[in-house]
A and B are shown apart, each in its own frame.
Chain A
Amino acid sequence: MNLSVTASGLGLAALAAWLLAGALAAGDAGQSLDAGNAPPADARAAFARPEGLPAGAAPLSPAVVDLGRLLFNDTRLSGDGTLACASCHQAQLAFTDGQALHAGRNGKPLARHTPHLWNLAWSETLFWDGRAKSLEAQARGPVENPQEMAGSMATAVLRLKADPAMVASFARAFPGRTAVDEISVTEAIGAFERGLVSPITRFDRWVTGDETALDRDEKAGFALFTGKAQCTACHSSWRFTDEAFHDIGLPDTGDLGRGAQLQLPAANHGFKTPSLRELAWTAPYMHDGSLPTLEAVIEHYAGGVARRPTLSKDMPPVLALTAEERQQLVAFLGALSSEEPPRPPQTLPKVELSSPDAQTAPVAATTISQKDKRFTPGRVKIAAGQSLTIVNDDKRTHNVRIDDPRLTFTSNAQEAGDSVVIAFPEPGRFGIICSIHPAMKLDVTVERQQSLLQHGPKP
């Protein structure tokens, strides 16, 4: 069956072809657990810490970070002057509040659990539903949420301007700017949060070759984590998150998460995969804070999952774990945490010089595959007037989204086998993501026809 999709913005029409409606079920049926499958010997390499902050990030300025720290702890950002960011993200509690759900202004629990703030410099999106695309955008949210800090940035700026010491701090942090303003406030808070890189753990030492850093149970837990339990389907990378949104089968409280954010029913009940770094210090767990211990988390995955159509395809259909295996998984998860309550690093992290993706040259192609939560190829060039066909070769539900003033586009849910066709009439460079897996990125360079003809696109 075919489905027309209209791209807004420039009024361009695109065509999305939906194919192989039954492929999803077939894909799931082919997914079986291979109990006892040990991970490859080099599996640990996939979890090696980066050298520094993501390449391309602005280097952190000590003055800006210091200002951000002040603002993070400043109650003047709240409406009644009683709450700061740090009221919920408490440094002593690993930047959480340790509670299932913090009480809102109306005395009722907030809808979602306070997440920790470690390693957000690498985040593609912020908030459990990913509604903020940057730390700066995120910083505004709680300040102006009527159930949280119940303030406004405009009012906060007025209060800060009236404080000579704070004005001086802003001047030191942003010497080229003449006034305290909302942009500077959010930039400083964002910079402070970017500096919150979790400390090196025993697991990290093991990854880099110290065989004694983990004990037998912890190593067995790693084997389970990367093997039988399939945890790495979502908890991947050194931060143990795929940055994607998954319905993991928690009880339905009416919170549709990413689905509500995208207005995409296929993403209902999807919440961002949390990083597992410093897990021992950040209980309770899950977006609703409903699981108090790591044992309860394992119990959920091993038997408490609510089966429904939106359940993530990355969830194992069955997960039977012995008592010993559960204990080993918990032991491993504990090794991802500092031995002492984690504190922010004393020195600001550097920025990596370059990323592997950035070094990849774009290839001429008009058909893109979505598989294993990646666009392949990840960088393409086409000629103006050509279209890209993006095929979901994955078992997962995907989505294609372009947020660009020259071209905005969003597909509906792209189930396994579905294709989306997007026309690019004008030259330029465009970024495509999957809204459900925002770490999936496709870089499209649209060249003038004359330029591309010299190379010749592949069919």
Chain B
Amino acid sequence: MKTRKLWLGLGAAALSSTMTPVAPQAASSATAIDAAAQASRCPAPARMQLAENTQPPAHSHGTPEKAASGAEGGEGGEGSPAAADADARLEPSLRFYRDIQLVRGHLLVGDELIKAGRWADALPHFLHPVEELYDKLAPVLKDMKLKPFLAQLKSLAQTVKAKNQGAYEAALTAVEGRLDPVDASMKAAKKDWMPFAVETALETFRSSYGEYSESIEGGKFAKAVEYQDSRGFVWQAERLIASVAGELDAKHPEAAQKLRAELAVLKTAWPAVLPPAAPVLDASQVAGAISKIELALGNVK
């Protein structure tokens, strides 16, 4: 399909001028994250370029190049050289923690499908973290002295293949048991946690756009997995923002109010875990909703 993108320029520009770069904190973990990622730390120019070129988030899954070619790709920079390049230039700790949200987003929507009894539909969402994300996370986890969780992810996927409810719950708990310390370590490493969490959520929203746009062909949902991916990412981003809602409400009540209103609009794109017959929002409308969220949060710091 031909993806027509509008947008994100204004929101991204606003953010880049107010929130980025997310300066690495003095804590050793942050240093480790940055070192491990071995990426140039030039997020502001990269994002300004996005704004000026009115590109969609180049680091998100389902970039126009991929969507046009119909090629499959991973989240967070895989799928096209341009996307990978932009993703590599993302601030390292932000990229790392965004990818953690993508893992959680996959698990979230996969769990939703399992609760609906749709084990086969859920399986891709338990395979994607291993296939598309973990390789990027592994060196950072090691440098942060966090426990790896590749085996746990694979084991979890196996329980879904086996459609084994009891084993699934135990394996999911094991994975979450590895993810929770990541959150704790990041919080300890970041002095200004709330703005960092908000920006991570924004990156996660952007990734959801890529998935959403790729899920639609000819005005219909052609790829249910990508639809579900995008739903999982949005729901996870919402969770992340909810985790800092107290501070956000206290410091930026107006922004928080706008965020909730725009998020409610955005979420109408995913009325259920299975795609509707026709999109409630087309890709450009989703992009627009995300840009409004960006604008709402533009002054959060």
Contact = CB atoms under 8 A, between A and B. Distances in A.
B155 A292 contact: no
B182 to A, nearest CB: 15
Contact of A280 (B155, B159, B164, B166): B155
Given A93-B167, A98-B170, A284-B170, A334 B162 contact: no
B159 to A, nearest CB: 5
A99 B167 contact: yes
Contacts of A327: 147
Interface string B170-208: 110110010000000000000000000000000000000
A222 interface: no
A280 B158 CA distance: 12
Nearest to B130: A340
B159 A93 contact: yes
Given A93-B159, A283-B174, A293-B177, A337 B151 contact: yes
A90 B162 contact: yes
B164 A293 contact: no
Nearest to B160: A92
Contacts of A102: 166
B301 interface: no
Nearest to B165: A99
A122 B147 CA distance: 33
Contacts of B174: 283, 292-293
A93, A100, A103, A327: which has the most chain B beta carbons within 10 Å? A93
Contacts of A337: 151
A292 B167 CA distance: 11
A94 B155 CA distance: 9
Nearest to A102: B166
B267 interface: no
Contacts of B159: 93, 98
Contact of B164 (A98, A283, A284): A98
B154 interface: yes
Contacts, number: 58
Interface string B145-159: 001000100110011
A283 B155 contact: yes
Contacts of B154: 281, 340-341
Contact of A341 (B158, B168, B177): B158
A283 B170 contact: yes
A129 interface: no
A94 B147 CA distance: 23
Interface in A331-373: 334, 337, 340-341
Interface in B263-300: none
Contacts of B177: 292-293
B143 to A, nearest CB: 13
B161 interface: yes
Contacts of B151: 280-281, 334, 337
Nearest to B150: A339
A98 B151 CA distance: 14
A97 interface: yes
Interface residues on A, range: 20 to 34
Given A292-B170, A292-B174, A93 B147 contact: no
A97 B166 CA distance: 8
Interface residues of B, number: 17
Interface string A279-293: 011011000000011
B158 A93 contact: yes
Contacts of B158: 92-94, 98, 281, 341
Interface in A85-129: 90, 92-94, 96-100, 102-103
A262 to B, nearest CB: 32
Nearest to B166: A99
A90 B164 contact: yes
A90 B158 CA distance: 10
A97 B164 contact: yes
A406 to B, nearest CB: 48
Given A334-B151, A340-B154, A99 B170 contact: yes
B28 to A, nearest CB: 15
A93 B162 contact: yes
A110 to B, nearest CB: 12
A99 B167 CA distance: 5
A98 B162 CA distance: 10
Nearest to B171: A98
Contacts of A96: 167
Contacts of B171: 98, 283
Contacts of B170: 98-100, 283-284, 292
Contacts of A94: 158
Contacts of A90: 162, 164
Contacts of A330: 147
Contacts of B166: 97-99, 102-103
Nearest to A331: B148
A72 to B, nearest CB: 15
B286 to A, nearest CB: 36
Interface in A300-340: 327, 330, 334, 337, 340
B242 to A, nearest CB: 27
Nearest to A217: B142
A295 B166 CA distance: 21
A429 B301 CA distance: 84
B115 to A, nearest CB: 18
A92, A103, A340: which has the most chain B beta carbons within 10 Å? A92
B167 A281 contact: no
Contacts of A280: 151, 155
A297 to B, nearest CB: 13
A341 B147 CA distance: 19
Nearest to A114: B167
Nearest to A98: B167
Given A97-B167, A99-B167, A292 B162 contact: no
Given A98-B170, A292-B173, A341 B164 contact: no
13 contacts: A92-B161, A93-B159, A93-B162, A93-B167, A98-B167, A98-B168, A99-B164, A99-B167, A281-B151, A281-B155, A292-B173, A292-B174, A293-B174
Interface of B: 147, 151, 154-155, 158-159, 161-162, 164, 166-168, 170-171, 173-174, 177
Given A93-B159, A96-B167, 5 more contacts: A93-B164, A97-B164, A98-B166, A283-B174, A293-B174
